[in-house]
Structures are given as C-alpha cells and as structure tokens.
Amino acid sequence: MKKIVFLSGTRADFGKLKSLIKITQDSELFDISIFATGMHLNTKYGYTVDEIYKSGFKNIFQYINHDTVEHMDRTLARTINGFSMFVAEYKPDLIVIHGDRVEALAGAIVGSLNNILVAHIEGGEISGTIDESIRHATSKLSHIHLVANEEAKKRLIQLGEFSNSVHVIGSPDLDLMKPSRLPSIEFVKDYYEIDFKNYAIGMFHPITTEYDNIIEYSKNFVDAIIESGKNYILVYPNNDIGSNEILNEYNKINSKKIKIFPSLRFEFFLRLLEQSDFIIGNSSAGIREAPFYNIPTIDIGTRQLNRAKLKSIIHTSYEKTEILHAIKLMKEYKVEETDNNLFGEGNSDKQFLELLSNNKLWEVEHQKQFQDFVND
C-alpha cells in the first residue's frame, strides 16, 4: 500500500486538493495523511483546519508554522522543519502539494532532499508577482506535474521538465463546482446570516513585491466599494506581507452593506459566488471559479496580471476612479457563456486516481534531469 501525504496551508489550496484527497482516501490502494499548517491553524483567519475535519477526512496532522506575516522566509523555514520531522516518522511514498505558497515550496524541498517523490498541482502558470517565482521554484523541485492545461505543460517543458512527467488533468476545484453538488443559496445565506438579495464578492490580497504601496491600494479598494453603494461579501486576504495593512482598512468599514468574513467554507463560497453579481479584487477565484459560473470579474492591479484573459474579466489599475468605473459597468455587463477548456472538465480526481494506479507513475526517476528545450 502506497503512503501519500497531502500538504495544505490555506483554505484555497485545500479547495484544490479536496476531491483528490477524497478519491484516494476512499481507495484501498493508498494510506492517506494530511499535513495541515499555515492559515489553517490561525484563528485570525478563521481556523480553517476545522473545515478539513468537517469534510470527513482522517489522519490529519496539525503544525503551527506562522511567525509573523512580515517574515515569509521564517514561515518557510518553520514549515520545512516541521514537515521534515513528520516525513521522517510517516515515511510517505509521495508528497502532494499545490500552487505557489511557501508551504508548497517547503513540501517540495523536504521531498526532494529526502528522496521522496513530489507531485505538484497547477504548476506552469504565470501571474506576475513573487507567487510566480515560488510556483516555478516548486516545480523545479517536484518530480510529477499535474497541470490545468496544455499551456501550463508547455511552460514546464520550457523550464526543462520532461514531457512524460507532466500530466494535464485540469483544475481539481472544478470537481466540486457543479451547482448540483453545492448547498442551496438559502442554506448558505442562513448559515452566514447574510440578508442581501443582490451582492458582489470582494477579495483583495497583498502583493509582496508592491508592499510599499499596499496602504494606498487597499484604501482605494475599500473606498471604491463603499462609494459604489452596492452590497458586498468581503473575505479576509491571505496572510502574506501586507495583510495587516489591508485588515486595518477593513476595520474602518462601518457599513451595513458590507459583511466581512475571515474565511468561508469552500462549497459555501462557491454557491455565494455562483449567485453573485460579480467578484472584485485580485483573487484567482476571479480568474478560475467565476468564469465557470459566467460571473464577471473586476481584476485589480498586477497580482493576476498574466493569467487567463477572458471576456468576463475586466482589468483595472489600483486607482479608485477606475475601480468605481468598472463597478458601474457591472450594472449592464452581460457575460456570454465562457470557454472553460482552460481548466478541465471537472474530472481531475478520476484522472488523478488513474495515474496513481499506474505503476509507471511510481517509476519516475527521483534524480531529476534537465531537458533542453528544442524550438521547432
């Protein structure tokens, strides 16, 4: 029986990993553990490790890795230390990580230095901030790549990865996104005591490479949504450098039209998004999840700069007047059916299980080689 550990540090990556954890934990072929760390264990951000337990998963190991948001390098170091000790005891055959957080990078470092296979989900993507550098570094330390689309696969090959180690399985969160699988909007609104009939969702994260301007950017964002006069469901940012400055602006909000939450359960968030007027901010949810539901996105600034460019996405600068103008456009903005082939067909979990059930996956060389890029 192969032993697999999934490493999760945030509500976002857990949403990506959830269907993959479930399908493998339900299989008799694998022994599954979850290493929960990062924001999951921070009460300030909703203590979302509870959501992992509520999902019915077993073998959950908790590790507090956070120092302060000003020191992401120390958080990385702590995560490496804690995960290394866990791996030494658990002795997994495969480590599964997602995305571009320091926790994912820690998982890749521990796996590669301990001769353990590492599978990285959604590598090969571009954004434009420090997240992109972390994502590419994580990919270079990983052995198996499970990507969302052919474009991501091409980028990994350009980074020197062998094509037979890159598998296109789509974006795993789509496995959970079909409306028929979500709780009713009435149930979700009642659960969170939301009485808005119409509303937009706001999610604004810090950009570590633009920290010097984060106070101005977050103030413009908050001022714009207040002045727009619309109802908003506002969710806390990631706990990166600059999050305290954003939260300071949120703390100044005194409006019954804006409800603020440290976190939302993933399926509950999806239903709220599916029923919203639009999403505003700089979250990847505006690039990935919103187009799936044909919900328009106002994408602010540079955090998602090089991500998918769809007709449903309006990009703005950080200027308040430009943000307000985009909000006004939402009143009559119509989104035609979005082409979601970029992110798969909602069966990533089945493809994942099929790959794990094939001996070839487990025969991947632990010693990586660089493949020279040949331009045809």
Question: pLDDT (tens digit, 9 = 90+) per residue, 339-372?
Answer: 555 677 789 999 999 999 999 999 888 888 898 8
Q: pLDDT value at position 332?
A: 82
Across 131-150, average pLDDT? 95
Question: Which amino acid makes up residue 22?
Answer: K
φ, ψ (nearest 5 deg) of residue 140: -70, -20
What confidence category does residue 79 fall into, taking pLDDT thresholds of 50, 70 and 90?
very high
- pLDDT > 70? residue 12: yes
Across 43-60, average pLDDT? 93
Give just the sign of the alpha carbon dihedral 62, 102, 15, 108.
negative
107 and 183 co-located in one domain: no
Helix (H) or strand (E) holding 50: helix 49-54
Task: For tokens 């890749």, name the residue.
Answer: 108
116 and 48 co-located in one domain: yes
167 and 186 co-located in one domain: no
What confidence category does residue 22 fall into, taking pLDDT thresholds of 50, 70 and 90?
very high
Q: pLDDT value at position 68?
A: 61
Tally Cβ neighbours within 10 Å of residue 253: 15
Q: Please state the pTM of the whole predicted model.
A: 0.86
* Higher-pLDDT residue of 375, 30: 30
- CB within 8 A of 91, min separation 6: which ones? 3
Query: Does residue 368 belong to any structural domain of this protein?
Result: no
Helix (H) or strand (E) holding 203: strand 200-203
CATH of the domain at 88: 3.40.50.2000
Q: pLDDT value at position 337?
A: 63
Query: Does residue 339 belong to any structural domain of this protein?
Result: no
Query: Does residue 341 belong to any structural domain of this protein?
Result: no
130 and 211 co-located in one domain: no
Q: pLDDT value at position 67?
A: 63
Cα separation, 52 vs 81, in Å, equals: 22
306 and 194 co-located in one domain: yes
155-170 pLDDT, tens per residue? 999 999 999 999 999 9
203 and 268 co-located in one domain: yes
Tokens encoding 74: 């120390």
242 and 276 co-located in one domain: yes
User: Which residues on adjacent β-strands are paired with residue 281?
Assistant: 203, 299
Across 75-87, average pLDDT? 96
160 and 254 co-located in one domain: no
What confidence category does residue 281 fall into, taking pLDDT thresholds of 50, 70 and 90?
very high
Query: Does residue 170 belong to any structural domain of this protein?
Result: yes
- pLDDT > 90? residue 40: yes
Q: pLDDT value at position 327?
A: 97
254 and 297 co-located in one domain: yes
Query: Does residue 265 belong to any structural domain of this protein?
Result: yes
Tokens encoding 286: 């505006």
Q: pLDDT value at position 333?
A: 82
110-125 pLDDT, tens per residue? 999 999 999 999 999 9
Query: Could you report how far apart the first and last alpha carbons of the chain are, in Å?
Result: 42
Query: Does residue 373 belong to any structural domain of this protein?
Result: no
Into how many domains does the chain fold?
2
User: Which residues on adjacent β-strands are paired with residue 259?
Assistant: 233
Give just the sign of the alpha carbon dihedral 113, 116, 117, 118.
negative
Cα separation, 281 vs 297, in Å, equals: 8
158 and 305 co-located in one domain: no
52 and 111 co-located in one domain: yes
Helix (H) or strand (E) holding 313: strand 313-316
Q: Which of 296, 311, 282 is nearest to 220 (CA)?
A: 282
Tokens encoding 248: 């300071």
Query: Does residue 375 belong to any structural domain of this protein?
Result: no
Strand order in the sheet with 232-235: 258-261, 232-235, 200-203, 279-281, 297-300, 313-316
Query: Does residue 374 belong to any structural domain of this protein?
Result: no
307-340 pLDDT, tens per residue? 767 888 999 999 999 999 999 999 888 777 655 5
165 and 223 co-located in one domain: no
- Give the domain extent around 107: 2-175+346-362
Average pLDDT over all residues of the chain? 92
208-266 pLDDT, tens per residue? 889 999 999 999 999 999 999 999 999 999 888 899 999 999 999 999 999 999 999 99
State the pairing for strand pair 279-281/117-121: unpaired
